[in-house]
Amino acid sequence: MITVITILLFLMARRLYKRWSLILFIPVFFAIMGTIITLKATETPFTTYFHESRFLTFLLGPTVVALGTLLYKQLHSIVKNIYPFLLSIFSSCCISLLLIVAIGRWLDFPTTIIATLLPMGITSPIAIEVTQNLNGDPTVTSVLVIAVGLFGNMFAPILLRYMGIQHFPAMGTAIGTASHGIGTARAIEISDETGIYSGLAMVFNAIFTVIMAPIIWELFF
Amino acid sequence: MKNKLIPLIQTGFILVRGFGIIVLLFFLGEFLAPFIPFPIPGSIIGMILLFTALKLNIIPLSWVDHASTLLLSFLALFFVPYGVGIMDSYQAIEQWSLPIVAIAIGTTILSLLIVGHLFTRFKNIINRFQ
């Protein structure tokens, strides 16, 4: 039943956001907060809600498949930009991994925590895999992955505008690299082109992280 | 009445057909995933299959275009149950929360900055050599 409330909140937020572009009305954020409040008020445990909303989470898979259509439609643009696309994702992947390890060591974090933090920019099923291989805690990783995605969904377009990045392919690549699927949901709203660059950037950042995370790990530990 | 009903049924049919193809490819991807030697989600395999089918003209674009656009416009909604999960599991990071949150926000902003700037920079460099 509460799943219906989630859907209504989402649709309502979409309308509200169209009229007043406030951070509060960003649909995912509004729906998540509204649902949490509803669950608390009705004292429904999260596991019950998660079970009844599996219809929504199931649709995530087919929606990723649907990105194939966007890829087909935008192929000419991607082929043209393939080198800057891959090089910028690879650079960002390496710099983020190095930075997380360096800060972690500097703040004297236990190695399990560093392993848990390492893959937080990539899509959750693969992030969990990376964390497990490095003996981190996958439950914490998945919380962080969602939080990072949500942050990207809410703030990435504003931040990019502030940084002076307005080029659709560059924006999409940046959003997908920094904030995977949830960020991609926002990128699709900007344009088809930003959407597909974001979706593909999510995929390639995940691939690069799977390859680079163990290598960088070896260098430090 | 009849004139309005026919296009409605047609649109419905196109959506259901597109949706059916997409879900079928998703299941095919899920089925193939365990046979691939590196971790890749079934949905990504499904995406590659759909793209290949469109590219090879096995499936015409018009069959899946509407259903894809509709699904993609709801992408954010399908993440909501995971987001609600934060309500239960935020305690997991409580002990280290402040530095962790700072690192998470910091690296996210840094990634946006690096990719956004390098993309245009690399593009200009490559254009110069061509």
Do the domain assignments include residue A112?
yes
Distance, in Å, from the CA atom of B12 to the CA atom of A208, rounded to the nearest integer, reads: 41
Q: Do residues A75 and A43 both lie within one domain?
A: no
Given a cut of 80, is residue B94 above it in pLDDT? no
Do the domain assignments include residue A149?
yes
Q: Do A126 and B100 touch (CB under 8 A)?
A: no
Q: Give yes or no for A4 touching B (CB within 8 A).
A: no
Which chain A residues are closer than 8 Å to B41 by Cβ? 61, 64, 123, 125-126
- pLDDT confidence tier of residue A139, bands split at 50, 70 and 90: confident
Distance, in Å, from the CA atom of A7 to the CA atom of A147, rounded to the nearest integer, reads: 20
Q: Do residues A86 and A185 both lie within one domain?
A: yes
Q: Which residue matches tokens 């992947």?
A: A93
Distance, in Å, from the CA atom of A139 to the CA atom of A141, rounded to the nearest integer, reads: 5
Whole-structure pTM value: 0.91
Q: Do residues A162 and A209 both lie within one domain?
A: yes
DSSP state of B39: -
Q: Do residues A20 and A74 both lie within one domain?
A: no
Q: Do residues A95 and A199 both lie within one domain?
A: yes
Percent of chain A at pLDDT above 90?
Answer: 81
A7 or B90: which leads in pLDDT? A7
Q: Give yes or no for B103 touching A (CB within 8 A).
A: yes
Given a cut of 60, is residue B1 above it in pLDDT? no
ipTM of the complex: 0.91
Q: Give yes or no for B56 touching A (CB within 8 A).
A: no
Given a cut of 80, is residue A47 above it in pLDDT? yes
Distance, in Å, from the CA atom of A138 to the CA atom of A134, rounded to the nearest integer, reads: 10
Contact A172, A198 (CB under 8 A): yes
CA-based nearest residue in chain B for residue A107: B99
Contact B126, A85 (CB under 8 A): no
Dihedral angle over CA of A153, A154, A155, A157, nearest 10? 60
Percent of chain B at pLDDT above 70?
Answer: 95
Q: Do A28 and B79 touch (CB under 8 A)?
A: yes
Given a cut of 70, is residue B95 above it in pLDDT? no
Given a cut of 60, is residue A190 above it in pLDDT? yes
Q: Do residues A40 and A148 both lie within one domain?
A: no
Q: Do residues A31 and A77 both lie within one domain?
A: no
- Summarize pLDDT for B10-39 with one digit per residue, the tens: 889 999 999 999 999 999 999 999 998 877
Mean pLDDT of A134-156: 91
Do the domain assignments include residue A35?
yes
- Summarize pLDDT for A53-102 with one digit per residue, the tens: 999 999 999 999 999 999 999 999 999 999 999 999 999 999 999 999 99
Q: Which amino acid is at B85?
A: G
Q: Which amino acid is at B29?
A: G
Residue B40 CB contacts under 8 Å (≥ 6 apart), including other chains? A126, B33
Q: Which ranges in chain A belong to alpha helices (H)?
A: 2-19, 27-42, 46-52, 54-80, 82-106, 111-117, 124-133, 138-162, 168-190, 192-220
Q: Which amino acid is at A95?
A: I
Minimal Cβ distance to B80: which of A32, A54, A85: A32
Sign of the dihedral through C-alpha A203, A204, A206, A210? positive
Closest CA to B32 of B45, B15, B16: B45
Mean pLDDT of A44-51: 92
- Summarize pLDDT for B48-67 with one digit per residue, the tens: 999 999 999 999 999 999 99
Q: Do residues A71 and A129 both lie within one domain?
A: yes
B99 or B53: which leads in pLDDT? B53
Which chain B residues are closer than 8 Å to A51 by Cβ? none
What range defines the domain where residue A140 resides? 66-220
- pLDDT confidence tier of residue A138, bands split at 50, 70 and 90: confident
pLDDT confidence of residue B100:
86
Q: Do residues A43 and A136 both lie within one domain?
A: no
Contact B41, B58 (CB under 8 A): no
Do the domain assignments include residue A59?
no
Q: Do residues A191 and A83 both lie within one domain?
A: yes
Do the domain assignments include residue A58?
no
pLDDT confidence of residue A156:
96
pLDDT confidence of residue B61:
95
Q: Do A73 and B126 touch (CB under 8 A)?
A: no
Q: Do A62 and B23 touch (CB under 8 A)?
A: yes
Q: Do residues A91 and A142 both lie within one domain?
A: yes
Q: Do residues A76 and A119 both lie within one domain?
A: yes
Mean pLDDT of chain A: 93
Residue A137 CB contacts under 8 Å (≥ 6 apart), including other chains? A112, A116, A131, B92
pLDDT confidence of residue A14:
94
pLDDT confidence of residue B2:
61
Q: Do B115 and A174 touch (CB under 8 A)?
A: yes
Do the domain assignments include residue A202?
yes
Q: Which amino acid is at B12?
A: G
Number of domains composing chain A: 2
Closest CA to A111 of A138, A82, A139, A134: A134
Q: At what angle do helices B2-32 and B42-55 cross, to 10 degrees?
A: 120
Mean pLDDT of chain B: 90
